[in-house]
Amino acid sequence: MTRWLPTLFLAFALAAPLALSPAPTFAEDDMEDVIENQEGGESGQNSKTYWQSRYTELKGQVSSASARLTQAKREYSKAKQRDRLRGDSKNSILQQIQSAEMDLEDAQKALDALPDEARAAGAQPGWFREIDENYAG
């Protein structure tokens, strides 16, 4: 019993200063830096908000172009049913369809290229899934 008593006393004596020393603290600015680094930075092309806003913007462009294309095709179909399309009215509607198709194609290409661009810049892949889940939910 007396053998382990000095060892126990020594262990408590050495542990006491460690237990009483204050834990390292971060200044408020340091914590903001840590959070920014975890999210990819506050500004620039590595931030979570930057990539999510670009993704949301491109999804909106795809949706808008798709709606315009659907509307133009619907107008063309209705006009064909009412009367025979000729001249300026036919060309106008076909021009709207062509413009909407080009806008949709450009927006879809940009949206498809965005994940690769973001990955190359250091964005995390889950950032876009969060946006998709918010739209679905």
End-to-end Cα distance, the chain: 66
Q: Where are the domains of the chain?
A: 47-137
The helices-and-strands tally (H runs, E runs) of the chain is 5, 0
Q: Nearest 5°: phi and psi at 61?
A: -65, -40
Is residue 107 scored above 90 in pLDDT? yes
For residue 36, the model assigns a pLDDT of 52
Closest CA to 32 of 43, 44, 20, 19: 43
Residue 20, H or E segment: helix 4-20
Instruction: Compare 57 and 11 and report the one with higher pLDDT.
Output: 57
Report the predicted TM-score, pTM, of the whole model to 2 decimal places.
Answer: 0.62
pLDDT tens, residue by residue, 18-45: 444 454 444 454 445 545 544 444 456 6
Q: Whole-angstrom Cα distance, residue 54 to residue 46?
A: 12
Is residue 3 scored above 50 in pLDDT? yes
For residue 105, the model assigns a pLDDT of 97
